[in-house]
Structure 1
C-alpha cells in the first residue's frame, strides 16, 4: 500500500527512547503506552534494530506476544543498516553501515522474531552505506516482499541523489530525515522537492530540535526563536511545541513528525496541534527567527 497523507497517522510514534536508551519502560508500561497511542488513532510505530542496543524491539515484542490483538491495530516501521558495537552483537568489530542483501535479510529476520510478528509494514534503510549496490538492495527488497515479510520499503537520512538512485530500481514510500526549525537542510537541499515530485511522504526525526528550543538561559539565537514561538503560542492559545509541529505540517510535502516522547500527555498535546494552521507570514516569522536575519 502506498503511503499517503490520508493513509498514515498524522504523527509517528518513535520508540527509540522507550527502552534502555530512555524511559526504560517495563512490559506493563509498554502495553499501557501502546494502548494510549492507539486510543488516539496514532497507529504508526517507528523502530530500528539498534534501539536500546538491540533490545527495544524485543521489549515491544513482549507486549505483542501476550496481546496478539494489538498487532492488527497498528503499523510497524523498523530500520536496519547500522552495525553498532554492542555486547548484543559481538561479531561487530567497529561501527559501520551495511546495506548488503545478506545484512538486510538477516536484520529483517531478527526484527520479525524480536517484534513477535510475521511481517513488517515498512522497512527503512537507516543510513546510506557508501558501498551500497542499488541492484543488490532491489533484489533483497523483492525477495522480502514476495515472501510477505515486508510490505513497503523506504530509507532514512538518504540524500536526494541516493534516494533517486534506489527509487529508480525499487519503489520507496518515504525518506525519514532530520527536519526541525534548527535543522532546515531538507527545505533547501532538494529532499522535500523530491518528495513532492514523487508523491512520497517525508517523515521528520527530531522535529523539536532535540529540546534545545525549550532550554532556559539559551544563547541569543535560541532566545530569538523562543520569543517568536511565545508570540505565536499566545495567539493560538497553544504551547511552543504545538507551534513547532504546526510549522512542520504547514509544508505542502506533508511532513509527518516522529514523536520521541514516552508520555501520553505529550502525545495528546501534539495531536491537538493538528487544529493549528499558521499563516504564510507566520511560517516565515519562525524561519527568520531561526535564520537570525531577514531572508535574502
Structure 2
C-alpha cells in the first residue's frame, strides 16, 4: 500500500494517487455501494478524493455526502478536495457558462460543499479555472476568511499558468499547495511551458487530471503507435496493464504529480494504485513520449 506524501512545504499529506469523482453520477451506485467503493479504494491506499461544485450538474458532492452520512467514520480517513469558480448552465439561474471568483461566491461555494459533504472542514479548496476577471486580492481575502474560520485547511488552483499562480500566491500569507493541471502522454504542453517547472521550484506537487486522455488513447486510431509501444514496455516491466504505465510515466516527472483516477470500477482503481511501485527507465519514458507525439526529440 503506497504511503501518503506531503504535497507542499507545510502542506497536507495526500495519497500518491487520487480518486476522482467527477463521473460519480454516471456510475449508478446506491449510497451503500458508494460506501463500499470508498472503503475499497482506501484499502488500496487511495485516501484523497477529488470533487468540484459543478461535477454531475452540481450533484456529485451531495451524492458523496450521502455516503458519508451513512458511514460517518469514513470522513476521518479521507482528504476531501473540491473546486469552485465555474458557473454552468446546469444551474437554471445561469444564462451562459462563465467564471466567477468574487469573494462572496468562493465563500458561498465552500460552505455549500461543507453542507453537501456533511463535514465541518475541507482539506483543500481549488479555484477551478483562471478567470480573466479574477481580482487576486479578493480571492486571497476569501481564502484567508475560510482558513481563519477553520472551514478550509489548504488552498490551491487548477489549470493556472505560472504567472497566474504567482499572482495569487503573492497576495497570500500561506503557500498554495497544488496546481491541478492536465497531464498525459497525449497532452504534453505543460511539461515544457514552465508550469511543472514552477511546481518543482516551489516543491509543490501538481495534481494531474485526464491522465488517460479521456480514454481516447485506448480507442483513437491515431494513438495506435502509443498503444503498441506501451504493450512492449508492459512486457519489459511486467506491469499488469498499460494504464499502470501511463500513471507511472506521469508520476516519474520530477515535479512528482499525483494522478487522478476517474474509473468507478474498483479493479481498475486497485491496479492503478500499483503504479506507484513501477519505475521506468529513462529510455522507456522517452519511448512513450515519442510514441504519443509521433516525433523524436530535437
| Fold similarity call, TM over 0.5 | yes
Gaps of 5+ in 1: none
Aligned-pair CA distance for 1:42 = 1.0
8 Å CA contact retained: 1:49, 1:111: yes
Which of 78, 81, 86 pairs up with 1:82? Answer: 86
Q: Distance in 1 between matches of 2:117 and 2:65?
A: 4
Residue 51 of structure 2, aligned match among 47, 50, 66 = 47
Query: 3-state SS of the aligned residue for 1:192?
Result: helix
Number of the residue aligned with 2:123: 121
User: Match for 1:37 among 30, 34, 41?
Assistant: 41
Q: Any idea what the Cα deviations from partners look like across 1:182-211, whole Å, max 9, x if unmatched?
A: 000110111100000011110100111111
- 1:77-156 paired onto structure 2 within 5 Å: 77-86=81-90, 89-156=91-158
Compute the TM-score of the two structures, normalised by the length of structure 2. 0.94
For residues 76 and 206 of structure 1, the distance between their equivalents in structure 2, rounded to whole angstroms, comes to: 19
How far the C-alpha of 1:254 sits from its partner, in A, is 0.6
Aligned match of 1:190 in 194, 210, 220? 194
1:2/1:173 contact within 8 Å kept: no
Q: Deviations over 1:1-42 (max 9, x none)?
A: 9634992201000001111xx212221111111111111221
Q: Give the structure 1 partner of residue 243 of structure 2.
A: 241
Normalization by structure 1: what TM-score?
A: 0.94
Whether 2:12 is the aligned partner of 1:10: answer: no
Alpha-carbon separation, structure 2, partners of 1:69 and 1:260: 24
Show the 5 A alignment for 1:140-219: 140-170=142-172, 171-215=175-219, 218-219=220-221
* RMSD after superposition: 1.5
Counterparts of 2:163 and 2:28, CA distance in 1: 38
Which residue in the other structure is 1:63 paired with?
67
- Whether the aligned pair in 1 keeps the contact of 2:45 and 2:273 (CA below 8 Å) is no
Secondary structure of 1:201's aligned partner = coil
Where do 5+ consecutive residues of structure 2 fail to align? none
Q: Is the 8 A contact 1:12 1:44 kept in 2?
A: yes
SS at match of 1:227: helix
